[in-house]
A and B are shown apart, each in its own frame.
Chain A
Amino acid sequence: MGAMKEFTKGLWAENPIFRIVLGMCPTLAITTEAFNGIGMGLAATFVLVGSNVMISALRNFIPKKIRIPGYIVIIATFVTVVDLVMNAYFHPIYQKLGIFIPLIVVNCIIMGRAEAYAQKNGVIYSLLDGLGMGLGFTISIVVISMIRELIGNGTMFGAQIMGQAYVPFLLIILAPGAFMLLGSMLGGMNRLEIYMAKKAGRTPTFRKEHDCASCEVFGGWFDRGSKGIEAIK
């Protein structure tokens, strides 16, 4: 696999939010304003790149049996550094993100990449993987927070867009709105992937458990209408 592909897979094919569906806590919680999305995304990207590089460099030094505590200590160190540096030099955005900066420690994307990628691959590839995944995460949450800010507050990046007459649809800013929007976007992304895969004559890249057609809750209810997956297979 080429180095370029290691980087770009995080942006689309293995996008951590829309494809792997990891790191849902910050995705749902802080995406109320576009600036928050950028701040959170970049902070998580820094931690991800740092931890990926460190873990892949130490992959032969850390024994298998204690790898998880070892990774957590390394990740927690990077998070603490980000927390302190943001508090010192980017105080306004630090205040808005609050508790969610320390909570990057438990962001599953970071641990997931360490476990699934960095411990098996070289430093350069791990760096690219971390960068791609981090940027994929950043772009995804910025898009979500832009939509939420626009609909829920009538602004974008703090600038008034919808005009004074617009009555903000508050639900979308509150927690239930985050779930609704994320669910709709996940569905939309799956739909798009099915369409693109069909056109290119390949198998869709999303995991089976994240596709509506195989959802057990509805017993394949979605499938009856759309025939999406079956048609391609």
Chain B
Amino acid sequence: MKEIFRLCFVLTLIGAVCAAVMAFVDQETKAPIEKSKTAEKMDAVKVVMPLADNDLEKDQVTVKDEDAQMEMTFFPGKKDGAVIGAAFVAVAPGGYSGPIEILVGVDTAGVVLGGGIVKHAETPGLGSKIATPTFRGQFVGKSVKDPANWSVMKDGGPFKQITGATISSRAVTTAIATGLEFLEAHKAEVFGAPKPAAAKPGCEGKPATGGKK
């Protein structure tokens, strides 16, 4: 009977000391972890919004859609005070191994300016090729209505999927399309309420982007 108390005591002591050590390290690393996560995201935002001169991190807007039960964060880019576009993170849930996070930059008309893969766990050498410029570049210049069919070639769309990684390619394509649709539905909230007249005609996108088909 005496022994069991000794065993309990020793194990409790080890547990308590270890918990204290972990609590200390957790406290010390909390801020740097948060910082490196944000820095990573903001670096990617700057790449897709190279012309913006505002503090992108400070100006972010989160839009909630009650109907679609979706929430997205947008980073509107401004130049000389005027909104020139926005960046957003589209999450593709259907990646080959876990969700893929894609950062997309669009101008005020909803035309894609550029994109980057923020986070993925796809197979190295196959699915990881979604991060190559050849694949990512295909989305530049496209908008939500152009093309009408936002899918990879295998599904009849205009985007060339990566050989051996159709699942990854499809996931990225669908996620960008979903993000663009969401932005289209909540334009006013993202780009600010007083809508600049110039953005309206470009909204259709046909004359500006249709030529490259």
| A interface residues, Cβ below 8 angstroms from B | 32-33, 58, 61-63, 65-66, 69-70, 73-74, 76-77, 80-81, 84-85, 87-89, 91, 95, 98, 152-153, 168, 170, 173-174
Contact = CB atoms under 8 A, between A and B. Distances in A.
Contacts of B40: 91
Nearest to B40: A91
The A contact surface, by secondary structure, is helix
Contact of A70 (B14, B25, B125): B14
Contact of A89 (B3, B10, B32): B32
Given A152-B125, A153-B124, A61 B10 contact: yes
Contacts of A76: 18
A77 B36 contact: no
Interface residues of B, number: 25
Interface in B128-150: none
Given A33-B124, A84-B26, A98-B121, A74 B18 contact: yes
B11 interface: yes
Interface string B25-38: 11001001100110
B90 to A, nearest CB: 19
A61 B14 CA distance: 10
Interface in B6-56: 6-7, 10-11, 14-15, 18, 21-22, 25-26, 29, 32-33, 36-37, 40
Contacts of A95: 119
A88 B7 contact: no
A76 B125 CA distance: 33
A88 B36 contact: yes
A89 B22 CA distance: 17
Nearest to A172: B125
Interface string B75-99: 0000000000000000000000000
A173 B7 contact: no
B126 interface: yes
Interface string B92-124: 000000000000000000000000000101011
B29 A87 contact: yes
What 10 pairs between A and B have smallest CB-CB spacing? A88-B32, A88-B29, A77-B18, A91-B36, A84-B29, A88-B33, A173-B125, A32-B124, A81-B25, A87-B33
A173 B165 CA distance: 15
A32 B127 CA distance: 14
